[in-house]
Amino acid sequence: MAETLEKKPATRKRRGKSGLNVAADDIFIFPIPNFTYKFLEKVWSSFVNKIVALTFTNNQPMFNYAVFEAIQDKNLKIVTSSTHFKMKEVATRIGLKDIQEFINRTLPVSIQDSENLSANFIREAIISVETKKRPDVVFSSLKDEKIHPNLRHLLSGTMNYAAGIPLFVKGNPIGMIWGIRRDRMTDEQREEVREQLSSFYDVVDFVIAREMDNKADPYIARKNIEKADLNSYAKHLYYTRTGGQQHPVTSIIFDCHTYNCSYRLDASYIIPSNNGFSVSLKRFEPEKTNDTGKILLMIPGFFCRRSVMDKVAREMALKYGYRVFSMDMRGRSRQTLPYNGIKEGWTIDDFIQEDFPAVLNWIRESFPKEKIVVMGHSMGGMIPRYYASAYETFVAKYPQNKVPLPDPKEAISGIISVTSPNFVSVGTNIPGMSAIKTGLSLLPSKSISDFIFDLTTFSLQSTLPTVDLNKFFKFLLGLHSSLRTVSFELSTKVVNLRDFVGYRQISPPEWYFLIEDIFCEESTKVILQFIRSQLSKDHAFFSFDGSINYTELQKNFQLPIYSVLGTLDKIVPVDSVEEELRALPSKNNQIVKFDQGHLGILFHMPTVREMCSGFHDWIQNLD
């Protein structure tokens, strides 16, 4: 597509005296095999989506546009594109006409055409790959270079500079990815681009090759590419054996140029819980751990997968030297469900009384000399607080609990609770919610909510033990099958996702990637427990059978706790939780506030850095 500014135009290289050297011009580019091409067609949108989401260290976007030129038999052709400012439209599937029209205007360029500069770069890359080197990242001034006539007409007034790298799968080229921007880059910016595009090359090769050798699931491939950390290079891949694991754990060693260190990522440890259910753990292991003797266990909130904790996990592991585990509770992945299928749903009580203690036991057995600090977001913060407060009740009520219940005073050094409620009081736009609550206030305690709860349990749970929230909201709202379609539109219907995210500085690409992480399969029983808490006038959160008032038992809470509140949080408003948090009888009870919303507090990097600095200072003073 364009010519590097750092190289002279590709010319035919002379052969050495031996005649054994091969010039780049002599390299033949083979078509992509049919099976590979058909798979790539379902995946390559993730290439351009990822490129326009890249940012510099100052959080400014690297590129305004991205295009992918795929090898099509004897030609190269732009087959997919994306723009930074159109990612909101990509998320909602609204307003994509411009992008599709751009693709329709693209014309193939023969690989043999001497003016096809992308083909020249691919030939040079083939020589590099054959000698076990990554291809070079190339930079171009699009207004100055000789752009092929088939491409020149596509350039707009803001498409001035480009950077690209050939992409390969299993040693064979598949095309060329380009990021395009309006403004010239500084030398420092070029170095950041070079590092991230080189990492992107590795990710595409690894993910596509692995998925094609496995189940050829394009959704998994797209997700892994879009979620990849391009601030790190993958150096080594191992499949490791760990005691008690039925399957090998994927262990990848990374060099991280952002934190200037190496680390190991293990995914996933599968920890059996009860009744065939399991919990999945991902581990961030820094090259050098600190001397606090603390392990961090991170638990995401309702609706969410563990990847929403990744920015906090990396900061705590790579900057502060903690061994970090992030947790997916039952239902978040196939590996956490019974092999013989789901016979009934699960409750929040199962998270508290089975999944959470199972993980505590596993970590303590694996690292007996270290203590655990539990960090939970939203419902993930409720779980350790409720467990610690209700522990004596559990022991008395369930003396033969199938999952051993470790004493929280021995197992947990402290709890970090991020935008986490004691009960559910969501500032929703659900029509009639105020009227419902007013009606409830005139009736005996819990009677109406219990009736609704029991009725809904009979009508839903008996026939639908779990809900794929993607399909659930599609059913309720008649929206597109991708949950990303609800992004900016739900605020006028039922759930205000903008309030749920509450991230003022969120960019369109961040919104696009976030939506995929905040909806997963969930049990109707869990949903109903939240509905009951929302409707109840008791301002309390109860067990599924109503016998345990978790909120009331907070009077027993004794562990050190560090609470983070968001002043813009409409899911857990500060005034709904601050007074109760201050009333906890813990002797080490600290509360801090940030000007962020419910979920955005985990994604805005300046906030993440400031939060994590506070976490580290607090943890250092724990026993």
pLDDT in tens, 150-175: 676 677 778 889 999 999 999 999 99
- 177 compared with 342, residue with greater pLDDT: 177
Q: Identify the residue whose tokens are 């609800």.
A: 486
- 425 compared with 134, residue with greater pLDDT: 134
Domain boundaries, given as residue ranges, for the chain:
24-226, 232-620
Query: Please, which residues have CB within 8 angstroms of residue 253's CB and are 6 or more apart in sequence?
Result: 234, 235, 236, 237, 238, 262, 263, 264
C-alpha span between 257 and 198 (Å, rounded): 12
What percent of the chain clears pLDDT 90, i.e. is strictly above it?
50
Cis upstream peptide for 389 (omega within 30°): no
Is-contact 135 166, C-beta < 8 A? yes
The per-residue pLDDT for 382 is 94
CA distances from 179 to 61, 71, 76, 188, 255 (A): 11, 18, 17, 17, 23
Question: Is the pTM higher than 0.75?
Answer: yes
CA distances from 36 to 33, 39, 165, 169, 217 (A): 5, 5, 19, 9, 12
Q: Is the domain defined by 24-226 classed in CATH 3.40.1710.10?
A: no
Q: Residue 88: pLDDT above 70? A: no
Rounded to an integer, the average pLDDT of 195-224 is 91
The per-residue pLDDT for 7 is 41
The angle at the Cα of 151, spanning 146 to 155, to the nearest 5 degrees, equals: 90
List strand residue ranges (DSSP E) for 449-567, in order. Answer: 466-468, 521-523, 561-566
Q: What single DSSP character describes residue 85?
A: G
Rounded to an integer, the average pLDDT of 361-372 is 96
Q: Do domains 24-226 and 232-620 have the same CATH topology?
A: no
DSSP 2-54: ---SSSPPP-PPPP-TTS----GGG---PPPPHHHHHHHHTTTHHHHHHHHT-
pLDDT in tens, 112-140: 998 898 999 999 999 999 999 999 999 99
Q: What single DSSP character describes residue 460?
A: I
Mean of pLDDT over the chain? 81
Q: Is the domain defined by 232-620 classed in CATH 3.40.50.1820?
A: yes
How far out from the chain centre does Cα 362 lie? Answer: 24
The per-residue pLDDT for 373 is 99
The per-residue pLDDT for 102 is 60
Strand 249-256, strand 232-240: pairing: antiparallel
Confidence of residue 483 (pLDDT cuts 50, 70, 90): very low
